[in-house]
Amino acid sequence: MIRRLLQTAPLVTALVRYNLKIIFVQRFLFFLAAAVGFFVLVVFVNRAAGKELNPASLYDLLLLPGILLVFYPAVFGIQSDADTQMLEVIFGIPDYRYKVWLFRLLLCYLITEAVLFCLCCLCAVFYSGFPVFGMAFHLFFAVVFWGGAAFACSTLMRNAYGAAVILVLAGFLFWIFSGSFAASQWNVFLDPFDAVSGAQEITWHATVRANRIMLAAAGLIGIVWGVRNLTKREKFL
């Protein structure tokens, strides 16, 4: 068993390195810089003004970098393969295309969560008692949801820019109506650290748990939907 793992380790390492080069190519670094820069700027401005940020407000600030980081690779991944003429190669190998994009999407999730965890640790430096692991845990569900939605939309539109426009509009509409569903488990922007006034603790925890399950399930459905759309080879080539 150990010998087999040692034999496959170089292959896995090479695969990870190759896909990381694809993920970090072109505009991803700009999304990373914009996401981290925006968050750091807001935190430092509030600290300089003497304003204390609580976990509820920091969740909203951390959610934007998470969405930005998973947005570009999930939406522009297939478009990038088409532009570099790799799409024909990937589709030419039976059942290989699923493994390629699923593995790449998994890396996107891990990279996004790693960056968010580092930002949570930065918050813990400035705000004592900040729930680092709890915050990173809850943010991951939102990242899975938006990553799955972005991946499914990119396979439906077959054009990264069209998919990006639809996702931005959808996110804007969800944000507008989030106030009406503030205490609902169906609110995709539900802040688990901002309990609704008057809500019982047990009820609020049940709502948050149901919301996290909904986000994870919707994200997985989006991924499966996107994978099924990739079976229609003639629509992509």
pLDDT per residue, tens digit, the chain (237 aa), is 566 655 566 666 766 676 666 666 666 777 778 878 888 888 888 777 777 778 888 898 888 888 888 887 788 777 766 666 666 666 666 665 677 778 888 888 988 899 899 989 988 887 778 889 999 999 999 999 999 998 888 888 777 778 788 888 888 888 887 766 667 788 888 888 887 766 678 888 898 999 999 999 999 999 999 888 877 755 555
User: How many helices and strands, by DSSP H and E, does the chain display?
Assistant: 8, 0
The pLDDT of residue 212 = 94
* pLDDT of amino acid 3: 62
User: What pLDDT, on the 0 to 100 scale, is given for residue 10?
Assistant: 67
pLDDT on residue 107: 85
> In this structure, what token pair is assigned to residue 86?
């790799």
Residue 47 to residues 2, 59, 129, 190, 234: CA-CA distances in angstroms?
A: 50, 16, 16, 25, 54
User: What are the domain boundaries of the chain?
Assistant: 2-235
The token pair at 206 is 């049940």
Determine the Cα–Cα distance for residues 202 and 143; give it in Å rounded to an integer. 25
pLDDT for position 211:
92
The predicted structure's pLDDT at residue 180: 67
What is the per-residue pLDDT for 233? Answer: 58
Residue 147's nearest CA partner among 87, 217, 73 is 73
**pTM, two decimal places:** 0.84
